[in-house]
Structure 1
């Protein structure tokens, strides 16, 4: 098994590479370094990724890479892992079934399995194959012993000790049936919400726009619903998020906007619309692309009870001094390493097997 410090060092190098790569791209692929071959290859991978997933624009991929570049530092990794006794881990093979809705959405699971000293048996989403393959190649280049720890599989997953699978509510039922006999984490659909009181500043509402529009709203950490007090005036909200209006120039987003607007109008639903984002009163959490649901509340205490009762459907609650584990406006897409998906501690899960 690879020594813990060696594994950590390899991911620190990967984080440094991510940061250098973003600078390389932002400088229009001009670098003072002699060896730019890895960056050139990664740039080609990034540009080709959109052929597998039209939502994977260069901007969105770079956003994900930049975020991971900032997270994969010695300070962050040690702060994350210092609370665990990794020496008690016995190497296991962990099957990872990854989603592909946003770039590198399954990277935290991938990182967790490897950095704790386990082998990753990875089934990639067809929507996000290229990025992970390149990252694995770079990790093995940085630390050759990883070659025995990273296995990609397109077929039936076999010979594993545990599984972490992410999918829709429908696929989760299949996962629960198929993987029920062994240790598992099965992730289903979750959504994120924001609680507004009408006292938010323009800056907070603009930051909320980041929570709504980043990755086109496709992630479980993307805010898809607003809770607002009765009589709430949405004018300030719409003014604050107007800076995001260029999103309508993205063809796939525009097509979804047009389609969903037509559905709403034909169904005679009442909607608010500013030309790139529709607001619809709805009790559900998961809104279609280019729209956000909203629901009125009469009591913050009653709303708190409701959200606590339905927390299994929620990933993030964005608010200001409302909820114990709330997320600040504009921060949903910037989780720390120790902020786990579905609030399930994957390191502890792996150590307990």
Structure 2
């Protein structure tokens, strides 16, 4: 299958998602039943962003041109992909990179996200039978020429061991932060609320910690964050909220809450579901220096960084962990 055929199929896939037809709605409902964290609203949000930011014709063509992807891949390899399942379709970008590069791929899906990508690939099978030779799913990965694996820090150690003899990209735990100066508008805070709350805060691009100036007034932020108060009706989220609140109360630690999210002063950039860590600063340059040396950071929003509201809207070239996936594939 040549490059143009692959580009055409990907564009058609984006149109299929955007059309939101009955087969896609059925797949969304099934995925939501299988994983309570995957609400239909968040599945549609993730899928529509893929259609808009990844599968638009002009963006795909520019991406392929930028990397000078040849019309034919004369020596296709079999790339094994181990996908995460923390947010809906989180492994789509890896699938996309391998597909557009002309390599074959064998995918091991997360048990938490087994429906959505399979459904989309089945559409490709239906539109062009050649895709069956390029994409397949397996419960175990063996005999691949290269590997892309995403998981926790613990699983990454196993991936490093098992795949050390092969070209590989191994991804570990990462998270994102925001820097505020206290002059944010209500609209800015509303967009920050999205960066924090979308997908229940479970993505590596979700903001899990904010840096605020000394004497920062948290009341406007807490009030704006009430736009997600409906999370209190989500059983799994509410269980996390109640647990984290109980821990802080028992340990007599200071916290703030608007009844749907907990703010806690904590040096860690990672925070549990339902909690947002914060840290005061007096020297912005020192914060920047600290974050630039922190390998746990995926994205930074706020002053001199990503605009609020865009943390969970990566472009085609926003590669996870800073590893250029497409360049890696083209060099196999």
TM-score by length of 2: 0.96
Distance 1:79 1:248 in 2: 43
Greater displacement, 258-267 / 99-108 = 258-267
SS of equivalent to 2:298: strand
- Displaced runs of 4+ in structure 1, greater than 4 A? none
Does structure 1 residue 320 correspond to structure 2 residue 303? yes
* Equivalence for 1:15: 14
Alignment of 1:50-199 (within 5 A): 50-71=32-53, 72-87=55-70, 89=73, 90-155=75-140, 157-199=141-183
Shifted more, 49-58 versus 296-305: the winner is 49-58
Residue 239 (structure 1) shift: 2.0
Taking the aligned partners of 1:339 and 1:219, their CA distance within structure 2 comes to 14
Contact 1:12/1:73 (8 A) holds in 2: yes
Q: Distance in 1 between matches of 2:122 and 2:44?
A: 19
Moved more, 83-92 or 172-181: 83-92
In the alignment of these two chains, the number of paired residues is: 329
Counterpart contact for 1:52–1:126, Cα < 8 Å: no
CA apart distance, 1:41: 2.8
* In structure 2, distance between residues paired with 1:126 and 1:215: 17
Q: Distance in 2 between matches of 1:337 and 1:238?
A: 33
Is structure 2 residue 323 aligned with structure 1 residue 350? Answer: no
**Aligned equivalents of 1:125, 1:102: Cα separation in 2:** 11
Quick one: distance in 2 between partners of 1:127 and 1:149? Answer: 24
Is the Cα–Cα contact under 8 Å of residues 222 and 257 in structure 2 kept in the other structure?
Answer: no
Contact 2:177 2:297 in 1 (8 A): yes
Q: More deviation in 237-246 or 9-18?
A: 237-246
On the 8 A contact 2:223/2:258 being kept in 1, the answer is no
Compute the displacement of 1:242 (Å). 2.0
CA RMSD of aligned residues (A): 1.2
State the distance in 2 between where 1:189 and 1:174 align: 14
Contact kept, 8 Å, 1:257 with 1:291, in 2: the verdict is: yes
Alpha-carbon separation, structure 2, partners of 1:19 and 1:292:
33
Paired with 1:287 and 1:236, the residues of 2 have a C-alpha distance of: 21
Equivalent position of 1:239 in the other structure: 223
SS in 1 for 2:97: helix
The answer for unaligned runs of 5 or more in structure 1 is 22-38
Cα offset for 1:45?
1.8
TM-score, normalised to structure 1's length? 0.91
Deviation at 1:263, TM superposition (A): 1.4
Q: Distance in 1 between matches of 2:145 and 2:220?
A: 52
**Residue 259 (structure 1) aligned with residue 243 (structure 2):** yes
Query: Following TM superposition, by how much is the alpha carbon of 1:275 offset from its aligned partner in structure 2, in angstroms?
Result: 0.6
Q: 1:244 is paired with a residue of what secondary structure?
A: helix
| Aligned-residue offset at 1:40 | 2.6
Q: Is the 8 A contact 1:15 1:69 kept in 2?
A: yes
Structure 1: how far apart are the matches of 2:227 and 2:115? 32
Q: Report the CA distance between 1:48 and its aligned residue.
A: 1.4
SS of residue in 2 equivalent to 1:86: coil
Give the one of 277, 296, 308 matched to 1:329: 308
Structure 2, unaligned runs of 5 or more: none
Name the residue aligned to 2:23. 41
